[in-house]
Structure 1
Amino acid sequence: MKLKSHGRFDYSALPHRPLYDWPDGRRLAVYVGLNLEHFSFGEGLGAVLAPSGQPDVLNYAWRDYGNRVGAWRMLELFENLSMPVSLLVNSSLYEHCPELIAAYRNRGDEILGHGRSNAERQGDLPEAQEQKLIAETTASIAAHEGRPPRGWLGPWISESDVTPDLLSEAGYGYLLDWCSDDQPVWMRTRNEPILALPYPQEINDIPAIAVRRAGAREFADMIIDNFDEMREQAKAQPLVMGIALHAYIVGQPFRLRHLRRALEHIVANLGDDVWLTTAGAIAGHVEKLPAGIVPGSISGSAPGSAPSSAPGTSQL
């Protein structure tokens, strides 16, 4: 029985793919994705922590702790470690706490689109409304940053059937919603292709801590073990390790202490085989690779090109 497929890319076994390197011959690319999020008061979609109606003060205040306290403590940690960050931003934060985004901008961190607010899921919207959500998010970031973002992570990693199409049509080059690989993969859209960049659902503090109830020490150990293992695996082929963080969770003091231990381990073990970078830099490197190297690109096409065929067309 043939099951329904998303049609965005075909199956590709990791060990059977062409080899390539990250810049300077490095094999493991590591990036931190820090989510900065905001709720509409009385309209949040937070975790079920206790019986509560709206306004859900518990979730609203918990989320805002990350913006008021946690993200600033994490900024100090990233500064001390000289660690770059990919900042996943709800655009409503430009009105709520613009100085927080400015603090990360001033250190040169990458800023990605993450919807308008975490009080909505774009997968619930009709196409025209989802298109409006993407357009408004993009315009807000462009107005404050001087250029539109190239990368996107949907609030709650929620997609409709046409989300990659709409993102490509809005000028985005890559998205982080798909967690199906340890390498970037080109996705088909009805417009230009878009790159699916690995974003973790395991080394991610919401699933690990809020859902599976991992402790602070355990989550830090997960980061360390994942880094050490992927560094070994990357000897065989280039890999991407993302670390997905939320300031209201790991910005809590007792968790921050263990996160510091994990990130210090990574920095102390960089070597010449590890590339500590941003999601955007990874995407930029992949875009320059010869066609036929990265899954979804077509052999014989111009370097960096990828298919713009409709879903269902066979590709590598």
Structure 2
Amino acid sequence: MKLPAHHRYAHSAIPNRPVYDWPGGRRLALLVVNNIEHFAFRAGLGSDSTSLSPVQNQRSYAWRDYGNRVGLWNMLETLDELGIPAAHNINSAALEACPEIGPALRARGDEFIGHGRSNSERQDILWEEDERRLIEESRDVLARHAGVAPKGWLGPYIAQSSVTPDLLQEAGFTYVMDWPADDQPFWMKTRAGKILSVPYSVELNDSPALIARQHSAREFAEMITDQFDEMLRLSEKRPLVCSIVLHPFILGQPHRLRPLRQALRHVMAHQDKLWVTRPGELAEYVAGLPAGIIPGSEA
């Protein structure tokens, strides 16, 4: 039987790969990645705090808007308190609608990652010309607010069309986080070169965990500590990437912020064993490794 295939990367079993170190001889890289999103009012797509079948009304809009008005600032204070650098998947519309966000992220030295124009729309249903326009518009707005063009991309709803990697590579992006296939980075083929896949968890991610699977914040905090502890153990054998994915309108709520802070304190208590970094820095390090080390680098 021949199944449809993507041909973006070849199979690779993690025990059979070369072993390498992260900077400083560390074996576990920690990525804390936050999502900053802006939505249409009473239209388009968007999650809902009370239902798995979202209704786009003023309540669901306001719940999500809480993230940019309050939740983000709660989270940034927590990250400052713990000394954790972060990266942010940012809807370009959020930077235009909320002028305080860009300067605050720049002051922290955080990374701006392309995340489409708005999470009220998806890119995987667009014609190629329209998807290219979405990518370029998002890139250009982020570049204007960050002072440098973004190198990384996560599509709204982690969705891609059949040509998204090609369009991203052609628009100057060097890595994507839409392919949760591995705990190590790997190179993917595009029609004009390669693009790196950086690990980004859909498991250790507050949106599917708390909204779709209805876990509590304390259960999510336990997920963080369990994932981290086990990956720290596994990293004795090989380099790994532990990504923790957050949304301000979810984890920025005070009652959820407390268990998150406790879990992050547990993680940072092992800081001497970690490379606490951002996706762009990790991608840059991987790009400098010799050919044959990272899956897909042989081609």
TM-score, reference length from structure 2: 0.97
1:12 aligns with: 12
**Cα shift at 1:100:** 1.9
Deviations 1:219-259 (A, max 9, x none): 00100111110000001000001101000000011110000
CA distance in structure 2 between the partners assigned to 1:133 and 1:27 by the alignment: 37
1:258 aligns with: 259
CA distance in structure 1 between the partners assigned to 2:89 and 2:290 by the alignment: 29
CA RMSD after TM alignment: 1.2
CA distance in structure 1 between the partners assigned to 2:108 and 2:239 by the alignment: 28
Q: Is the 8 A contact 1:70 1:251 kept in 2?
A: yes
1:302 aligns with: none
**Cα shift at 1:52:** 6.9
CA distance in structure 2 between the partners assigned to 1:165 and 1:59 by the alignment: 34
What secondary structure does 1:124 align onto?
A: coil
What secondary structure does 2:246 align onto?
A: strand
Q: Is the 8 A contact 2:166 2:190 kept in 1?
A: yes
Q: Is residue 2:182 matched to residue 1:181?
A: yes
**Cα shift at 1:208:** 0.7
1:73 aligns with: 74
2:249 aligns with: 248
Q: Is residue 2:267 matched to residue 1:269?
A: no
What secondary structure does 2:84 align onto?
A: coil
Change (3 A) 1:24 1:47: same
Amino acid at match of 1:31: L
CA distance in structure 2 between the partners assigned to 1:115 and 1:258 by the alignment: 30
CA distance in structure 2 between the partners assigned to 1:27 and 1:233 by the alignment: 9
2:23 aligns with: 23
**Cα shift at 1:47:** 2.7
Q: Is residue 2:96 matched to residue 1:99?
A: no
Amino acid at match of 2:39: F
CA distance in structure 2 between the partners assigned to 1:44 and 1:270 by the alignment: 41
Amino acid at match of 1:26: R
Q: Is the 8 A contact 1:44 1:59 kept in 2?
A: no
Give the alignment of 1:159-308 within 5 angstroms. Answer: 159-271=160-272, 273-298=273-298, 307=299
CA distance in structure 1 between the partners assigned to 2:5 and 2:230 by the alignment: 31
**Cα shift at 1:53:** 5.3
Q: Identify which range, 67-76 or 94-103, moves more after superposition.
A: 94-103
CA distance in structure 2 between the partners assigned to 1:265 and 1:164 by the alignment: 36
Q: Is the 8 A contact 1:151 1:173 kept in 2?
A: yes
CA distance in structure 2 between the partners assigned to 1:154 and 1:19 by the alignment: 30
Amino acid at match of 2:45: L
**Cα shift at 1:142:** 1.1
What secondary structure does 2:193 align onto?
A: coil
1:47 aligns with: 47
CA distance in structure 1 between the partners assigned to 2:160 and 2:200 by the alignment: 15
Deviations 1:107-136 (A, max 9, x none): 100111100001100001110000000000
Amino acid at match of 1:84: P
Change (3 A) 1:127 1:268: same
Q: Is the 8 A contact 2:184 2:239 kept in 1?
A: yes
**Cα shift at 1:42:** 2.3
CA distance in structure 1 between the partners assigned to 2:191 and 2:129 by the alignment: 16
**Cα shift at 1:95:** 1.6
**Cα shift at 1:29:** 0.2
1:304 aligns with: none
Q: Is the 8 A contact 2:151 2:173 kept in 1?
A: yes
What secondary structure does 2:31 align onto?
A: strand
Q: Is the 8 A contact 2:179 2:199 kept in 1?
A: yes
CA distance in structure 2 between the partners assigned to 1:53 and 1:82 by the alignment: 38
Deviations 1:49-105 (A, max 9, x none): 357755x21221111100000000001001111100011100011221120221121
Runs of 4+ in 1 over 6 A off after TM superposition: none
| Structure 1 gaps, min length 5 | 299-306, 308-316
Identity of aligned residues (%): 53
Q: Identify which range, 44-53 or 65-74, moves more after superposition.
A: 44-53
What secondary structure does 1:88 align onto?
A: strand
1:313 aligns with: none
Give the alignment of 1:118-133 within 5 angstroms. Answer: 118-133=119-134
CA distance in structure 1 between the partners assigned to 2:60 and 2:131 by the alignment: 25
**Cα shift at 1:2:** 2.1
